Amino acid sequence: MLIQCTKKLLDQFGIKPATEEKEEPLFSWHANLITLNRRKTIVLVNDQNRYVVVLHGLKAKDFKNLDRVLLQGIRETFMEEGMKDEVIEKFLSQSNEISYTKTKDRTSVARMNKACENVYFFEELLENDSIFNTRMSMRVSRFLVGNGKNDYILPNEEMYKDLEEFAGEPIFMTKAVQLKVTLRLEKSNTWRRILVPINRTFNHLHDILQIAFGWRNYHLHEFYIYDNALSKQVLSPNHSAYHKDGLKPMVNLVSHEEAFSYPNDVEMKLDTDIKLSEYIPAYKRLKYNYDFGDNWQHDIEVEEVIDNYDANYPVCLEGGGNTPPEDVGGTYGFEEFLKILADPMHPEHKHMVEWGRMQGYKEFDIKGVNRDLKNK
């Protein structure tokens, strides 16, 4: 493997660059050292397809073992993508001997700098508990980039094609679950049936549900996972932990550190740290709460487990009903909103139609949902 480094990275690494070497573009990367949140970060960009791997929070010991760290960063990112182990190992077996040289040309440097700009843009995705920032890597690799021919490419899809050609076989095979998610509304039937790889985190599932239901990620969220036993405590239907079948809440997965300042009787964990596979399919009933003001509660049921899912992205299989617009005022506000929309003679009809459009209210479009889900 060839790593073509900026002067800043070479100085940090403390080695003299090798003489210019040639390598197949698929096994050749450009690398830069940047600082994010006062932590040293390496951004790797593949020369053939511009796929990005991000390593964040490197320390002196990591630079002393940079060969191992770089290979493990690629391995962790490909694993998070859902690639087969044998495909990953075949790729890395071609990369055991790493050579470090100077950057190649202006075009490659410009492309690398663009990738670094995108890393800065998605800074909120950085995780500080591991140097292998797979979520950031995957997100930046799904960012549309120009290829210099008045055309644009998605680096992740280009990498998939390149690896499939290299391996001579399909590269994806993972376990997934079929979920039915129902938004709890008194007078509307709004639901989605989706397939989700279980190597994703619950925070990632939040992103998937935002797309599937057309929410805009304006508010906080949480998940509850339920034991099969009935709860001894009788909860109000408006209580965040309430389950329609009276099941006992086992764990509360929260979206923000501040939530730990308000503990309850249920164990709390941060959802960015927990993969679906840690609880699913062992537990089949969950709940997703979004916007604690309007209090949108979604009941989640695990319907089926797919052992050999041959894709690495979620899919919406079917669904029905429109999602309320953001900040409509909860169930009562949504009912009033629909009443005004249904009455062209209502004095607020025109205003409400425009307000709903601005808030993203629209008919459920499964093709549009799946188009957006493909990059999640």
pLDDT band at 205 (very low <50, low <70, confident <90, very high): very high
Q: What does the block give as tokens for 312? A: 């690495």
pTM of the model: 0.88
Same domain as 153, residue 44 = yes
Residue 85: give its domain's CATH number.
3.30.420
- Round to the nearest angstrom and report the end-to-end CA distance of the chain: 29
Q: What is the dihedral of CA 237, 239, 242, 246, to 10 degrees?
A: -60
In terms of Cα–Cα distance, which of 41, 47, 40, 321 is closest to 184?
321
Per-chain mean pLDDT for the chain: 93
pLDDT band at 238 (very low <50, low <70, confident <90, very high): confident
The proportion of the chain whose per-residue pLDDT surpasses 90, expressed as a percent, equals 83
Q: 344 in a domain, yes or no? A: no
Q: 61 in a domain, yes or no? A: yes
Phi and psi based region of residue 194 (left: phi greater than 0; alpha: psi -120 to 50; beta: remaining): beta
pLDDT in the model for residue 96 = 66
pLDDT in the model for residue 263 = 83
Same domain as 222, residue 98 = no
Residue 368: give its domain's CATH number.
3.10.290.30
CB atoms within 10 A of CB 113: 16
Same domain as 183, residue 34 = no
Same domain as 51, residue 189 = no
Q: 350 in a domain, yes or no? A: no
The proportion of the chain whose per-residue pLDDT surpasses 70, expressed as a percent, equals 100
Report the pLDDT averaged over residues 230-236: 82
Structural domain count, the chain: 2
Q: 121 in a domain, yes or no? A: yes
Boundaries of domain holding 258: 174-323+361-373
Residue-wise pLDDT for 123-175, tens only, equals 988 888 899 999 899 999 999 998 877 889 999 999 999 999 999 999 999 99
Same domain as 158, residue 20 = yes
Q: 338 in a domain, yes or no? A: no
3-state secondary structure of 138: helix
Higher-scoring residue by pLDDT: 265, 270: 270
Domain-terminating residue out of 167, 191, 208: 167
Residue-wise pLDDT for 29-68, tens only, equals 999 999 999 999 999 999 999 999 999 999 999 999 999 9
Q: 333 in a domain, yes or no? A: no
Report the pLDDT averaged over residues 306-326: 96
Same domain as 87, residue 20 = yes
Same domain as 304, residue 226 = yes
- Is the distance from CB of 54 to CB of 138 less than 8 angstroms? no
CB atoms within 10 A of CB 39: 14
Q: Which of 18-32, 338-352, 353-367 has the lowest mean pLDDT?
A: 18-32
Higher-scoring residue by pLDDT: 264, 295: 295
- Is the distance from CB of 195 to CB of 177 less than 8 angstroms? yes
pLDDT in the model for residue 239 = 86
Residue 356 one-letter amino acid:
G
Number of helical H runs and strand E runs in the chain: 11, 15
Domain-terminating residue out of 126, 148, 167: 167
Q: What does the block give as tokens for 16? A: 């003299």
pLDDT winner (highest mean) among 19-23, 144-148, 196-200: 196-200
Domain-terminating residue out of 167, 183, 217: 167
Residue ranges of the alpha helices (H) in the chain? 7-13, 60-64, 66-81, 85-93, 106-121, 134-140, 155-167, 202-213, 330-341, 349-358, 366-373
Same domain as 22, residue 85 = yes
Q: Who contacts 60 (Cβ-Cβ below 8 Å, separation ≥6)? A: none
Same domain as 186, residue 115 = no
pLDDT band at 277 (very low <50, low <70, confident <90, very high): very high
Q: 197 in a domain, yes or no? A: yes
CA angle 291, 294, 298 (to 5 degrees): 65
Q: What is the dihedral of CA 339, 340, 341, 342, to 10 degrees?
A: 50
Same domain as 138, residue 63 = yes
Same domain as 250, residue 128 = no
Q: 260 in a domain, yes or no? A: yes
